[in-house]
Amino acid sequence: MRPSKIADDADPDAFSIDEFCVRHRISTQLFYKLRPQGLMPATFKVGTRVLISREAAAAWRRARESAQRAAESVA
């Protein structure tokens, strides 16, 4: 059996901002509110599209988890 050449949509290599927000259950409004504060993942452009790599999304999740643990240990 040959491997499929079609990418697995369940785990894409990059997300649009809307896809990222849906996948992480946050509103796009919150994304754009927190982005200038550096609290959203790194993005890159392909033509006119703004994308977030799978790695940047994972790094963002780790950073948010670390920040939450730090906040809980202070409280």
Tally the domains of the chain. 1
> Which structural domain, as residue segments, surrounds residue 54?
14-74
pTM of the model: 0.81
CA separation for the pair 1, 13 (Å, rounded): 24
Residue 7 inside a domain? The answer is no
Is residue 46 one of the residues assigned to a domain?
A: yes
Q: Is residue 56 part of a domain?
A: yes
d(CA 72, CA 75) in angstroms, rounded, equals 5
5 within domain boundaries: no
pLDDT one digit per residue (tens) for the chain, 75 residues: 555 555 555 779 999 999 999 999 999 999 999 999 999 999 999 999 999 999 999 999 999 999 999 999 887
Q: Give me the CATH number covering residue 47.
A: 1.10.1660
